[in-house]
Chain A
């Protein structure tokens, strides 16, 4: 998994799927539906934010569980960065949804059950990120936030999949609204929608991989600077490779 993050084939796949999504998403024929009109194409851009968020947050909670089984900095940093990307997708989903709703529902926020549930889910994950920052000790932070992440995920699922279904939603396809339920999410829409979900999700994974790698570099630098701050004299007869490495680092910064 770790070296998979550095492979390039899935990044190329992501770019290809995104080029297809943008081109086909704007040019392919779509069903003609009242109220929605051309905004039905938002299906290829707004809805993948939520699918992507759920996938990214699922990966995050998997690494949190792995961390509790076998504590390691790597698992903690995977859990954090996948959650970060998931939150970015969620915020973009909320904002793009509000922009779209302004022109279809007549107001950016209608307290639609899906809007409310998604907003609450975002707040729960904001709390995860704030919780992390409030803990000084590294191991304590990793452990407590891993446990919190599991609870956050356990709350996310009913918020997104159960509660909105217990009542009518304004969303297309719900409660008799025009949209893409089992009858009219036709093959034309699916042809772009599924590649769009994969493409957007992989773009999120790409950004996540960069942040994970930067965190590993940061941790390495922290370790090195701790080695360097050993009072002189204690390791007087040992060679000091730290100095050479420091100069290698400062060269790379230039």
Chain B
């Protein structure tokens, strides 16, 4: 009984999706000449540089503590 209900819902899902084409989805992510991928790549590289800078900050802080560098 339960299984057949689940099957019924699942089989009706694709038709539901087709009938509601006007609902906004993230389709544009793959369209428009893939500019979003370029943004993602730049953001990834920028994130890597930021992580590196944060790690340098930590290293500097540790040295300051060990050497008693005052403000």
Residues of A within 8 A of B (CB): 2-3, 6, 11, 15, 18-19, 22-23, 26-27, 206-207, 210, 213-214, 216-217, 220-221, 224, 245, 248-249, 252
CB under 8 Å from chain A, chain B span 5-51: 35-36, 38-39, 42-43, 46, 50
Are the C-beta atoms of B36 and A249 separated by less than 8 Å?
no
The answer to whether A210 touches B46 (Cβ under 8 A) is: no
Q: In the bound complex, do residue B71 and residue A252 qualify as a contact, i.e. CB atoms below 8 Å apart?
A: no
**A2, A19, A207: most-surrounded residue (chain B CB, <10 A):** A19
A3 near B50 with CB under 8 A, answer: no
Contact B43 A210 (CB under 8 A): no
Interface of A is mostly: helix
* Residues from chain B with Cβ under 8 Å of A23 in the complex: 39, 43
Cross-chain contact A217 with B56 (CB below 8 angstroms):
no
Are B66 and A249 closer than 8 Å at their CB atoms?
yes
Interface size on B, residues (CB 8 A): 22
What are 22 A-B pairs at a CB distance below 8 A?
Answer: A11-B54, A15-B50, A22-B39, A22-B42, A22-B43, A23-B39, A26-B38, A27-B35, A27-B39, A210-B56, A210-B57, A210-B60, A213-B60, A213-B64, A214-B60, A216-B69, A217-B67, A221-B67, A245-B67, A249-B66, A252-B62, A252-B66
| A-B pairs, 8 with minimum CB distance | A2-B71, A213-B60, A220-B67, A252-B66, A216-B69, A217-B63, A220-B69, A26-B39
Which residues of chain A are within 8 angstroms of B57 by Cβ–Cβ distance?
11, 210
Expressed in whole angstroms, the Cα–Cα distance for A220 and B68 within the complex equals: 8
How many A-B residue contacts, CB cutoff 8 Å?
52
With CB as the reference atom, state the residue of chain A lying closest to B45.
A22
CA distance A138 to B44 in the complex (A): 43
Least distance between B69 CB and chain A CB atoms (Å): 5
- Closest approach, in angstroms, between the C-beta of B68 and any C-beta of chain A? 8
Q: A206-B53, A217-B67 are in contact. List 10 more A-B contacts (CB 8 A).
A: A2-B71, A26-B39, A210-B56, A210-B60, A213-B60, A216-B64, A217-B64, A217-B69, A249-B66, A252-B62
Q: How far is the CB of B37 from chain A (nearest CB, A)?
A: 11
| Residue from B36, B46, B61 in contact with A27 in the complex, judged by beta carbons closer than 8 Å | B36
Distance of A11 Cα from B39 Cα, bound (Å): 21
Chain A residues near B62 (CB-CB < 8 A):
252
Complex alpha-carbon distance, A27 and B38, angstroms: 10
